[in-house]
Amino acid sequence: MTPVLAVENLRKSFGDLVAVDGVDFEVAEGEIFGFLGPNGAGKTTTISMIAGLLRPDDGEIRVDGVSIADDARAVKRKLGVVPQDVAVYAELSARENLRFWGGIYGLKGQALRERIEELLDQVGLSERADDPVKQYSGGMKRRLNLAMGLIHRPRLILLDEPTVGIDPQARKKILEIVESITRGGQTVLYTTHYLEEAESFCDRLAIIDHGRILAEGSIAQLKAQLGEGSLLTVQGEFLEQPFREILAGLGDLREVEITDGRAMLLVPGGSRGVGPALEGLYGAGLHLDDVLIKEPNLEDLFLKLTGRELRD
């Protein structure tokens, strides 16, 4: 089956800065595909090229098998774009904003009126539909921004950090709306730097940093890259290289990250293996000030792949 979105060898530079460096991925029909990475990872640049707002230096973008380079207009008709920065007319009401954008996409008459009412109800703005948007909270503006991207029932919705800067209740509402979209068969490409969103919300993920996709798959597939076991983090008075030498003599312990004074290790066998691992570290003469044991998550994988934490 032809994927809704196929991206091959996508590249984009701004002077000496390589923003997107050979990105490849596909998104299937009805899927929520997440781009997880810190600010500056290349998420927005990738979205902008798919939306036709930036021209790639190299690579190909196809929507339903149609290349944006061959027929940009046909591709753009299939897209709904919800940018990171809210793009609404503050002096107009929500209903007027939706009427304007619906008209741009060729909707009119009763069909447009019905679609506006449907979306106002879906995003929870029916009671404030005729108030000027400048009176809305940040979360309400975000919901209207989402509705504007959905007005023409797009095949593929590009959501670039749609929950940035809003409270948890508003974020929950937006995520519920997006999930309901995919139940109707629409497809979503979703960028975020919120770990909990990516882990609980997306069907598949690509971890991206410095313009490159470092890992891709379902949550289970990505976690499997760390391996089975528990994560043991220790802090103390030790240097990186001597710690590595000690670790080499401790059997199956696997390094996730080691720096001066801090090490994160994967312990095979889960919690049962933690005791023997600590005995080995103490037995080697290490002085440990702090010990943390937990199950692996996506942030740990990100740290292993990039050498830095997601929030950096």
pLDDT, one tens digit for every residue, the chain (312 residues): 789 999 999 999 999 999 999 999 999 999 999 988 888 889 999 999 999 999 999 999 999 999 999 999 999 999 999 988 888 999 999 999 999 999 999 999 999 999 999 999 999 999 999 999 999 998 899 999 999 999 999 999 999 888 888 888 888 888 888 888 888 889 999 988 888 888 888 999 999 989 999 999 988 888 777 767 788 899 998 899 989 988 888 877 888 888 899 988 888 876 778 888 888 888 888 888 999 888 777 777 777 777 666 654
Q: What is the CA 139 to chain-centroid distance, rounded?
A: 19
Q: Where are the alpha helices (DSSP H) in the chain?
A: 43-50, 72-77, 94-104, 109-122, 138-150, 168-183, 195-201, 219-224, 240-248, 271-283, 298-306
C-alpha span between 269 and 302 (Å, rounded): 22
**Among 125, 77, 128, 130, which Cα is nearest to 104's?**
77
User: Which CATH code is given to the segment(s) 227-295?
Assistant: 3.30.70
The answer to whether the predicted template modeling score (pTM) of the entire model surpasses 0.75 is yes
How many other C-beta atoms can be found within 10 angstroms of the C-beta atom of residue 108?
A: 11
Q: For the domain 5-223, what is the CATH code?
A: 3.40.50.300
For 288, residues 6+ apart whose C-beta sits below 8 A from its C-beta are 234, 235, 236, 278, 281, 282
pLDDT at 274: 85
As a whole number of angstroms, the distance between CA 146 and CA 159 comes to 8
Sequence ranges of the domains in the chain: 5-223, 227-295
pLDDT, residue 308, reads 66
| pLDDT score at 143 | 93
pLDDT at res. 62: 96
